C-alpha cells in the first residue's frame, strides 16, 4: 500500500469514527483506501459497521473523527449532486431508494434529472434493466415487487446514471443463486471492462475470491485485516474471530487436508481451483476414459 500518491486513491478514509446519537460506536478509527478501478469488498458479520461505513463514504453520515477524501477532495467540499454524479450508491434496503410509482419511472428518474434527451433516457433504462436481468419488470408497480426484484431495480437505477464508481451495500443479499451470480458478474464486468471502481459491503464469502481484488474485514467498527482473498481466507483464526467462515469449497478442502491428510497445496478458494488440485491427486490409473483437463 505504499508508493501511491494521495490523489491516486479514489477513496481514502483515515481514522474515521462514528457514534450514533444514542451512543453506539459503529466505527472506531477506520482506515480504508480504494484505488481507481479496484474491486474491494468490505466483509463483516452483522452489526460490524458495514452500512455505517458506506454511509460515511457517501456523505450520508458525517464522521465524528477522521477524514474522507473522494478523488483527493474532502467529501464535505462536494455538493450531493456532484458526489452522486461521480458515485452510484446502492443502499442495503431498496425501499430507501425507490420512490417512483413504476419501475420504468424509477430507473429513468436519475438520467431524466440530468436533462438527457428522452430517447437517451429510454435507452439507458432498457440497458440498465437488461443488465440486472429485470427487463420484464419495466412496467410493474414498484410497491408490488418482491425484495429481490426491488434490489435489482435499485441497482438498475444507479447503473442508468453511468457512474464512474459504485458503492453497494449488500447488493446480492436476498437475491436467488442465479440473481447473485448475475449481479456479481455484472459488477465484475463493469469493473474490468469500464474501469468502474466497486466497493461492495457484504457478509457473504463464497463469490468474493472470484471477484474482489482486495477484502477489508471489519469487526465491531474496526479494521481487523485487509488483503487479497488468499491472505484473508488463509487466516483462519481471524476469520473465526470476525464471525465469518471460509468459502464452502475452501472449508471442504481445509478439512480434507486437516483431518484426512489429503496432500493439497495451499487453500483453493474457488470450485475451479479446487477441482484442478483434486484432479492432480488422482492417480492416472484411476481415471477411466478421457480426462479433458489433464489432456490439455
Residues that bind ligand ATP (CB under 6 A): 20, 22, 24, 26, 44, 46-52, 92, 203
State which residue, 200 or 253, has the beta carbon closest to Mg ion.
200
Least CB distance to Mg ion at residue 283 (A): 48
Of 9-17, 56-64, 72-80, 89-97, the segment contacting Mg ion by CB under 5 A is 89-97
State which residue, 35 or 222, has the beta carbon closest to ligand ATP.
222
State which residue, 20 or 293, has the beta carbon closest to ligand ATP.
20
Of 49-57, 65-73, 119-127, 144-152, the segment contacting Mg ion by CB under 5 A is 49-57
Q: Which of ligand ATP, Mg ion, none lies near 22, with the C-beta cut-off 5 to 8 A by kind? A: ligand ATP
State which residue, 129 or 198, has the beta carbon closest to ligand ATP.
198
Q: How far apart are CA 17 and CA 14, in angstroms?
A: 9
Paired residues of 202 in beta bridges: 43
From candidates 27, 33, 55, 92, binder to Mg ion by CB under 5 A: 92
3-state secondary structure of 104: helix
From candidates 16, 44, 51, 59, binder to Mg ion by CB under 5 A: 51
Paired residues of 102 in beta bridges: 141
State which residue, 221 or 268, has the beta carbon closest to ligand ATP.
221
DSSP state for residue 149 in the 8-state scheme = H
State which residue, 51 or 58, has the beta carbon closest to Mg ion.
51
Cell, residue 253? 478442502
Contact, 187 vs 211, CB < 8 A? Answer: yes
Least CB distance to ligand ATP at residue 266 (A): 30
Least CB distance to ligand ATP at residue 175 (A): 15
Least CB distance to Mg ion at residue 63 (A): 17
Indicate the burial class of 31 (C-beta count within 10 angstroms; 0-12, 13-18, 19 or more). middle
DSSP state for residue 141 in the 8-state scheme = B
Least CB distance to ligand ATP at residue 256 (A): 31
Paired residues of 87 in beta bridges: 165
Q: Which of Mg ion, ligand ATP, none lies near 258, with the C-beta cut-off 5 to 8 A by kind? A: none
Residues 40, 43, 49, 54, Cα dihedral to 10°: 30
- With a CB cutoff of 8 Å and minimum separation 6, the contacts of 237 are none
Applying CB under 5 A, does 172 fall inside the site for Mg ion? no
Phi, psi angles (nearest 5°) of residue 90: -115, 120
Distances (CA, A) of 290 to 277, 283, 287: 17, 13, 8
Binding site for Mg ion (CB under 5 A): 50-51, 92
Amino acid at each position: 500500500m505504499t508508493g501511491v500518491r494521495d490523489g491516486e486513491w479514489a477513496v481514502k478514509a483515515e481514522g474515521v469514527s462514528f457514534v450514533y446519537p444514542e451512543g453506539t460506536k459503529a466505527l472506531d478509527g477506520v482506515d480504508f483506501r480504494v484505488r481507481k478501478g479496484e474491486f474491494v469488498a468490505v466483509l463483516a458479520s452483522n452489526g460490524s459497521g458495514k452500512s455505517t461505513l458506506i454511509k460515511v463514504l457517501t456523505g450520508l453520515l458525517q464522521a465524528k473523527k477522521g477524514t474522507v477524501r473522494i478523488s483527493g477532495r474532502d467529501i464535505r467540499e462536494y455538493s450531493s449532486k456532484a458526489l452522486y454524479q461521480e458515485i452510484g450508491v446502492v443502499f442495503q434496503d431498496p425501499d430507501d431508494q425507490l420512490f417512483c410509482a413504476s419501475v420504468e419511472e424509477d430507473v429513468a428518474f436519475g438520467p431524466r434529472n440530468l436533462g438527457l434527451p428522452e430517447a437517451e433516457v429510454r435507452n439507458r433504462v432498457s440497458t440498465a434493466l437488461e443488465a440486472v436481468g429485470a427487463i420484464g419488470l419495466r412496467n410493474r408497480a414498484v410497491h408490488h415487487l418482491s425484495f429481490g426484484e426491488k434490489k435489482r431495480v435499485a441497482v438498475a437505477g444507479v447503473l442508468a446514471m453511468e457512474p464512474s464508481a459504485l458503492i453497494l451495500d449488500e447488493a446480492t443479499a436476498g437475491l436467488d443463486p442465479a440473481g447473485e451470480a448475475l449481479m456479481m458478474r455484472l459488477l465484475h464486468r463493469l469493473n474490468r471492462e469500464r474501469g468502474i471502481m466497486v466497493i461492495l459491503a457484504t457478509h457473504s464469502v463464497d463469490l468474493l475470491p472470484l471477484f474482489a481484488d482486495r477484502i477489508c474485514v471489519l469487526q465491531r467498527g474496526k479494521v481487523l485485516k485487509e488483503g487479497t482473498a488468499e491472505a484473508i481466507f488463509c487466516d483462519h483464526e481471524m476469520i473465526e474471530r470476525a464471525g465469518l467462515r471460509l468459502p464452502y469449497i475452501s472449508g471442504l478442502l481445509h478439512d480434507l487436508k486437516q483431518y484426512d491428510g489429503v496432500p493439497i497445496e495451499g487453500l483453493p478458494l474457488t470450485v475451479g481451483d479446487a477441482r484442478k488440485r483434486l484432479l492432480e491427486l488422482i492417480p492416472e490409473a484411476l481415471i477411466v476414459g478421457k480426462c479433458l483437463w489433464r489432456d490439455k
